[in-house]
Structure formats: C-alpha cells, structure tokens
Chains A and B, each alone.
With several copies, the nearest count.
Chain A
Amino acid sequence: MKAAVIVFPGSNCDRDVAVSLERTTGRPPLMHWHADADLPEDLDLIVIPGGFSYGDYLRSGAMAARSAAMAGVRTAAAKGRAVLGICNGFQVLCEAGLLPGALMRNRSLHYICRDVYLRVETTDSIFTGHYAPAQVARIPIAHHDGNYVADLATHCALEDEDRIAFRYCTPAGKVTDDANPNGSLDNIAGILSEERNVLGLMPHPERLADPRLGGTDGQPIFASLMEALS
C-alpha cells in the first residue's frame, strides 16, 4: 500500500498518522505539501490528517479545502483512490464537497479531548473490513467542531446507502444521546462517500493504535486498508 499524508500549514496530526501508517505498512508514507497540486499517480491511499489547517480561522477545514493539493485529492478520489480524512481531515473533506454535510461547533461549545465509544455501522468498506459488525471500538476524539449536520435528504441517503461508518455509542454499544459527545446528527461519527472510497471521521484512530498509548481499537482501520489496498 502506497500512502501519502497531505500536510497543510497548521496540520498537527500529520506525524501521528504517519507513525501509524509506517507501523502498518512497514514504510513511511509520503508527506505531501499542500501547495503542490501534483500527487503521484500510484498512490493507493491519501490521508488528510487532523489539526488546525490555517488555524481553522474562517471555518474548520475551509481554507485547506481550497488548496492546490485538494484539487489533486479530488482527482484521485474521482479515480477511485482511497481517501481518509481524520478530524480536521473530515472537516476538509466536507468543505471540499467530497463528503456531504458540515461539522459545526460542539453543542457544549467546549473543545473535547477524551476516549469515546464508536459502534461500527458497516464493515462493507475498505476502511472497516477488519472490524466485526456492530463492534464497539474505544477511540479518542479531540475537536471543537465535530457536530455533524446534514439535511434530511442527505441523512436518508447516508442511511439507505449504508454510508454511516461509525456512530457514537455507550461502552455497551447503545446509540444514545448521552453517548453523543458533540451533538452530531443521529450520533454520526464517520461517513463514507457514495463510491465508498472516501471516509471522514472525527475520532482519531491513530491515537489508539499502539498498546503503549493504552489501546489498539484504532488499528483495524489501518489494517483494513492494508489488506484492501495491497
């Protein structure tokens, strides 16, 4: 699997996800600078990492979505390449129109950094194949703007097309309002594109993919990609 991580000014989980990718694939991913529109042709996976691209000063992900590199990502996605957006990366993908909906301020208005539980809602994707159906995974979130919104038609389409990848849930796997850390519509934590080759999620799988850091529930995402794309 040949992977690249896009680096925007203000990305700050680029190294973190590169560590996870290297652990999974055995070699470091390509770190791709935002100003460069030309992505290598032979990439299997493009990761838009977490952080605060451009400070998130206008809207989270808004400026990064208009960068040269994102034009390249759009082309690659159209060709069916895998694109994974984590946290700020999810925000960028929504702003870029590669995923539907938007991520608004958390309903508590606080930044929240903590482990949450996710129910795996579909295993039918190159990102989630290594999870069991309805498996509960403990993965951290760390964001201020993770409150997913979409209009009714989009919500129905996501549901009908099995494109909701993860929902926030209790440790026992119940999808409840108490288990929803940020107010997201229908507890949505991550969604797939229509072609199922783009995944955006707010939680950070790279932060719990190493026993030393206290857990490995994030690792199946990388393992799924490795199997699907190698």
Chain B
Amino acid sequence: MKARVHVTLKSGVLDPQGKAIAQALQALGFDGVKDARQGKVIELDLEDGDTSAAQARVDEMCRQLLVNSVIETYRVELEG
C-alpha cells in the first residue's frame, strides 16, 4: 500500500523558495506567473493492511515526525 503525504506551508507563512521560483520564472520571461509556493510530497511504501488503520497511522507519523505543525499543514492520500 502506498501513502502520499502532501506537506505545504500554512497560508500566511512566507515561503522563500516559492518566492524565488516566482521571481526566477518572471526573470525568464514567463510573465503570467503571479505567485509560486513550494511544498513536498513524501511517498511511503507501507505493508498492506486495513485502509482506515493505515490512515490513522500515517496521521500519527505526520504528527510525530513528517510535519512541523508550527509552519506546515498536510494531506494524506492512500492508494492500493
């Protein structure tokens, strides 16, 4: 079973990487870019099992390690 954890910065938290990307794109002449934000995706390869139990466990992983709740939020996608 695969779990995909999408981690994004909370809105309101300034994103230096995203800002740099937007500026670089503008500098390259892509002028329709109003803003950019960068997040990360962590793909976990889990042993097969019950989906709702897996959801709970991945939530727990996010709380304990994968996400810094001071600045980030997340969303989990399960597959297979």
The answer to whether residues A58 and B14 also contact, given A66-B64, A101-B70 and a CB cut-off of 8 A, is no
A54 with B24: CB separation less than 8 A: yes
A55 sits at the interface (CB 8 A): yes
Question: Quick check: B21 and A57 within 8 Å, CB to CB?
Answer: yes
Number of interface residues of A (CB under 8 A): 23
Q: Which residue of A lies closest to B15 (CB)?
A: A104
Interface of chain B, helix or strand or loop or mixed?
A: helix
- A203 located at the interface, meaning its Cβ lies under 8 Å from any Cβ of chain B in the complex: no
Assembled-state Cα–Cα distance A106/B14 (Å)? 11
CB distance from B74 to the nearest CB of A (A): 13
Docked-complex contact A58 and B21, CB < 8 angstroms = yes
Instruction: Say whether A58 contacts B20, CB under 8 Å.
Output: yes
Q: Does B65 contact A (CB under 8 A)?
A: yes
Contact yes or no, A183 B24, CB < 8 A: no
Render A35-62 as a binary contact track against B, CB cut-off 8 A, 1 for contact: 0000000000000000000110111001
Assess whether B71 is in contact with A149, with CB atoms less than 8 Å apart. yes
| Distance, CA A66 to CA B71, complexed state (A) | 18
B53 CB to closest chain A CB, in angstroms?
A: 22
29 contacts between A and B (CB under 8 A): A54-B24, A55-B17, A55-B20, A57-B17, A57-B20, A58-B20, A58-B38, A59-B68, A62-B68, A63-B65, A66-B24, A66-B27, A66-B28, A66-B64, A94-B70, A102-B68, A102-B70, A102-B71, A104-B13, A104-B14, A104-B71, A105-B16, A105-B17, A106-B16, A107-B16, A109-B20, A149-B13, A149-B14, A150-B70
Chain B positions near chain A (C-beta within 8 angstroms): 13-14, 16-17, 20-21, 24, 27-28, 38, 64-66, 68, 70-71
Closest 10 CB pairs of A and B: A57-B20, A57-B17, A102-B70, A63-B24, A102-B71, A107-B16, A105-B16, A109-B20, A58-B21, A54-B20
